[in-house]
Amino acid sequence: MVDYVFERHLSGGIHIAANKDTSTETPIRRGFIPTTLVLSLRQHRGTPAESLVRVGERVLRGQMIARPGAPPSAAVHASTSGVVRALEERLVLAGDGVQPSPCVVIETDGRDERAPAEPWPSERAAQVERLRSGGLVGLGGAVFPTADKLGTSEPCKTLIVNGAECEPYISCDDLLMREHAADVVAGALLMTDLLATPLCIIAIERDKQRAIEAIEQAARAVEDPRLKLAEVPTIYPAGGERQLVELLSGEEVPSGRYPSEVGYVCQNVATAVALIRLARDAEPLISRIVTVTGGGIKTPQNVETLLGTPIGQLVAFCGGYHSGVVRLIGGGSMMGHALPDDDLPIGKASNCVIAATAAEVRIDPSEWPCIRCGDCAMVCPPRLQPQELLVAAEKSDFDALHLLGLRDCIECGCCDVACPSHISLTERFRHAKRAQAQRDRDVTFSAAPFEHRETRLDAERGRAATLTDRLKGRA
């Protein structure tokens, strides 16, 4: 029995075609080993991992090839056995778009030999560090190191395990819950233990009835009173972290703060499965389920894919391309990024690859002036004013962008869909965020010499005052 059914809708959001049927017709496919792996050292938010291997070295499946940098960070492991052929910079799809990154290039040998397993520790502090060395990150797209979320010292009222998967085309979590419901539940309860929280809610959109039934059955089998199941409305972006917290609790996460600061921790269902595999099977994060879909794919499906697999080889495994592909997208159709080619590798943030035809994407880039209709504000989940943000972004008015809440923009793309003038608002906001971050870095850098001088002068004034006091004491 589902514990919570939510009829109310969130602020904003849109109803949009799911486009998931073709990729959910067959079970998850496994067993594909590519000829080459390209493993980025920037597969997570925070500090890049630090390489531990050299060219010519043979590595084994699950072997750590890059250790975590300064927190937040996570390790990177070889996805299968082979020989390191290069340590070089390549383009990869990170959580914030296509960027150059240092990479370890491995020529696989097809033997899939495994490195010695590392057992799961018994103490919580050691378990948190094992999450870091095991390379676990959030697999819903944010790729924030799991050790930093589950290792928090802040009290947690509720753990939310996110199975909403609201974005069009993506179905990897849906299939994972259908086929591995017991692992989702076991991983969710292990997270609950790590956080010492009294409540864990697994939230699933109501259009995923087969997943709901599978999770229900698995939850009944364990009979843990801390575990609840919530059915949430099918509306985009109900699966957003802040949106789920508000939907399930009625509380709004304040601007500039994280859900954990107000007592809520959100993790993806795939992260829960990765955690139980690490604890039970001593398997670090070396693969993930990827939805390969779109009108340009001959056999749309979900594939358990080794991290580092070139997209072109993964598409070939799915039957190859149909003619008429006009755009390759990493991620979903709303928040994904256009890819320059299919040489880019699958990373921890790669939940979907879409080979889109002209009927599936906007080809005409023409835009018209903003008519101030307010439709974008009506659908904005964080309750922002996109039309005002657009004016400030075009003027590079960073003070106004800050006051208007640019940092609260979740880049969901709802405003783009609603805009009758076809203005690419989300891309402008992404660019404005990057420009604002660069400006903040420049200000910090330019202020550093002044701050250093003031610190030095304060110290000298303090020493002079001390000397004066001493001389007064001698008089």
Q: What is the pLDDT of residues 208-254, one digit of tens each?
A: 999 999 999 999 999 999 999 999 999 999 999 999 999 999 899 99
Residues of the chain with CATH 3.40.50.11540: 4-111+119-287
CATH number for the region 4-111+119-287 comes to 3.40.50.11540
Residues of the chain with CATH 3.10.20.600: 288-357
Q: Which of 411, 404, 375, 373 is nearest to 390 (CA)?
A: 404
Place of tokens 């994060």: 285
What is the secondary structure of 222-277 as a DSSP string? H--TTEEEEEE---BTTTSHHHHHHHHHSPPPPTT--GGGGTEEEEEHHHHHHHHH
- Between CA 111 and CA 82 the distance in angstroms is 8
Strand ranges inside 125-172, DSSP E: 158-163
- What digits encode the pLDDT tens for the residues 17-70? 999 999 999 999 999 999 999 999 999 989 999 999 999 999 999 999 999 999
Domain 288-357 fold is Ubiquitin-like (UB roll) (3.10.20)
- What digits encode the pLDDT tens for the residues 434-471? 998 888 887 766 555 556 666 666 666 665 555 555 54
Residue type, 274: A
Residue 261 has pLDDT above 80, yes or no: yes
What pTM was estimated for this model as a whole? 0.90
- In contact, 288 and 176? CB cutoff 8 Å: no
Distances (CA, A) of 126 to 190, 236, 392: 14, 38, 47
- What digits encode the pLDDT tens for the residues 313-345? 999 999 999 999 999 999 999 999 999 999 999
What is the secondary structure of 285-338 as a DSSP string? S-EEEEEEESTTBSS-EEEEEETT-BHHHHHHHTT-BPTTEEEEEES-TTT-EE
For residue 291, give both structure tokens.
């939805």
